[in-house]
Structure 1
Amino acid sequence: MSGERNDVSDWWTTSIIDMAPGQIRFRGNPIEDLIGTVSFPQMIWLMTRGDLPTPAQAKLLECALVAAVDHGPQAPSIAAARMAVTCGLSLNGAMASAVNMLDDVHGGAGEQAVELYHWIAASVREGTALEEASATMVDKWQAERTKFVPGFGHRFHKPEDPRAPRLLALVDEAAAQGTVGGEFAQIGRALQKLLNERKGKPVPMNIDGATAVIYAELGFAGPLARGLFCLSRSVGVIAHAWEQMNQGERNKGPTPPSYRWTYSGPNPIDPES
């Protein structure tokens, strides 16, 4: 009987939580000791990394989380949440619909940017100059992955995404205080300079690129950068879903009813008829 019980209890193995009647411990810390003493960013760090960050590390993490909460109803994730509510979904359904939109193109570029930054950092540590390493690794990325350089370019914010300079300035402050090394902020700026020169016009660092600098500086793995973006954007998602729920529209599609799509098949209907 004991052997069977061990088979069941060992089916899932975790170092995250230990729970028994009357007792809950996260990473060895009693929940009652955490409540009221750690912030939500500190708790995120504890759960994903296994230890508690310093207050300065938690503050920088919080800055990245705050910066990415929302980008308006034209953002696919927010639009999906609002449309989901008009179709009758609850808040949790709307949030699930929105988070499922956060993939490689929308919301997932932070993970890719962390990876690219690490490519460049590894090359620099091997003795390559930063400018040369940036150019070589961008070429490698575009040859092996996609022509789009993750974390750069924005269809609305030109010549500058207002979030990026603020976040980089906060990284500079943290580096001056010894909280982070500043290596990835330098890489981000080198990429910005390179892309501007190659394009002949500003290619703004976007929210994915800026938060990726912070996540890389703090030592978060690339996939966690995407997960953290999902956590952050969920704040905007729930706000928009709740607002839409209270506005009360039903089955509200992506465009007003008077606007039709472009039909490219045979025998189109005359739009004037």
Structure 2
Amino acid sequence: MTDTTGRPVRTEFPTSLGTSSATEIKLLGQDLAGDLMGKVGFGELAFWMVAMRRPTSGEVRVFEAVLVALTDHGFTPTAIAARVTYLSAPDSLQGALAAGLLGGGSRFLGVTEDSGTFLSAALAAHTADGRSLPDTDEGWDELALDAIARQRRSGKLVPGLGHPNHKDGDPRTPVLISIAAEEGVRGPHLQLFEAIGRMSGRGVGRHLPLNGAGVCGAALADLGLPTEMLRGFALLARCAGLVGQLAEERRNPIANDIYMNADRGAYYVDPTGSNPTGADPAT
């Protein structure tokens, strides 16, 4: 086969994921119907498809704990976006899901990827000149202070530190660290992340709790998953949460109230800063 200029067009495309024929479906080199269905959990399969290796039972436990931790947090912007989009286009469930997923950015869900990337970069910088990773808490604390200082010198916040609601500690953080330790996969990313929490007072000037999105990024990085894919796992988890949000929207709709509250609360403000109507916005 050739294109309009006579050059050959590629007709074969290699993949290590899914293929199908008239009689079978293959996935990851396995027979989908015979080898995977009813024998492999969805979380295990999602891990396998990205890592290109079948995870151990301990890795699956940590991975699925991450998915559970990130599934739903109530009426977040992602959930509101999905619900209001469904209000506008109830014939497009996929549009409502997409609207919610598109809201997964630097403030919501993206912290998982940002934390994993930050921790990986700090570990790489430490070992770049041949130094070994610490084997004591004091060594990890020193590394953490250096990582925090580097981040602050670049004018950036330390990802994974602080939470708008959980001022005294995110309940997900110690649980995920404990699960990783039980399964023997509490690696250098989690150890550095814990040290950053211990050193936040000295490094940032005030103690800040380690948030759940950040600890999820550290745990996923310790599982050997590529840091540039970590937001994808956060979105995978949140997709399940958004399906739940939309199912609840059908049972007990609130999107119209959200819309009407915002619309009826709107008032005109002159772009010059004056208020020509003389109305008090608070009334």
Q: Normalization by structure 2: what TM-score?
A: 0.84
Q: Residues 56 and 36 from structure 1, CA distance in 2 versus in 1: closer, same or farther, beyond 3 angstroms?
A: same
Matches within 5 A, 1:99-110: 99-110=101-112
Residues in 2 aligned to 1:264 and 1:140: alpha-carbon distance in whole angstroms: 44
Partner of 1:166: 175
Corresponding position: 1:135 with 2:145: yes
What amino acid sits opposite 1:134 in the alignment? A
State which of 120, 130, 141 in structure 1 corresponds to 2:122: 120
Q: Aligned-residue CA RMSD in angstroms?
A: 2.6
SS of match in other structure, 1:18: strand
Query: 1:258 deviation in Å?
Result: 4.7
Shift of 1:78: 1.1
Give the counterpart of 1:94 among 87, 93, 96.
96
Corresponding residue to 2:221 among 196, 216, 222: 216
Cα distance in 2 for partners of 1:254, 1:208 equals: 32
Q: Secondary structure at the match of 2:9?
A: helix
The alignment status of 1:85 with 2:86, answered yes or no, reads yes
Aligned equivalent of 2:259: 253
C-alpha separation between the residues in 1 aligned to 2:267 and 2:142?
46
**Cα deviation 1:109-152 (Å, max 9, x = unaligned):** 111111111123234442474223222222222333x5321111
Q: Quick check: 1:79–1:254 contact (8 Å CA) kept in 2?
A: no
1:262 is displaced (CA, Å) by 8.3
Structure with greater Cα Rg: 2
95-104 or 128-137, which deviates more? 128-137
1:86–1:252 Cα contact (<8 Å) kept = no
CA contact (8 A) 1:195 1:203 kept: yes
Q: Percent identity?
A: 24
The 5 A counterparts of 1:213-252 are 213-248=218-253, 250=256, 252=258
Residue aligning to 1:21: 22
The Cα of 1:236 is off from its aligned counterpart by: 1.3
Deviation string for 1:53-93 (max 9, x for gaps)?
111111111111011111111x2111111111121243211
Does 2:258 correspond to 1:270?
no
Q: How does 1:202-213 map to 2 (within 5 A)?
A: 202-213=207-218
> What secondary structure, in the 3-state scheme, does the structure 1 residue paired with 2:233 have?
helix
Following TM superposition, by how much is the alpha carbon of 1:186 offset from its aligned partner in structure 2, in angstroms? 1.2
Instruction: Assess, with a 3 A threshold, how the Cα gap between structure 1 residues 168 and 254 changes in structure 2: closer, same or farther.
Output: farther
- Judged with a 3 Å threshold, the aligned counterparts in structure 2 of structure 1 residues 132 and 162 are, in CA distance, closer, same or farther, namely same
Task: Give unpaired runs (5+ residues) of structure 2.
Answer: 134-138
Q: Secondary structure at the match of 1:223?
A: helix
Aligned residue runs from structure 1 range 182-193, under 5 A: 182-193=187-198
Q: Is the 8 A contact 2:116 2:189 kept in 1?
A: no
Alignment coverage as a number of residue pairs = 265
What do residues 93-121 of structure 1 show as CA deviations (whole Å, max 9, x unaligned)? 11100111101222111111111111232
Question: 2:64 aligns to what SS in structure 1?
Answer: helix
Equivalent residue number for residue 32 of structure 2: 31
Give the Å deviation of 1:234.
1.1
Distance 1:264 1:147 in 2: 35
Q: Secondary structure at the residue paired with 1:7?
A: coil
DSSP-derived class of the 1:51 partner? coil
Write the distance in 1 (CA, Å) between the matches of 2:238 and 2:124: 30
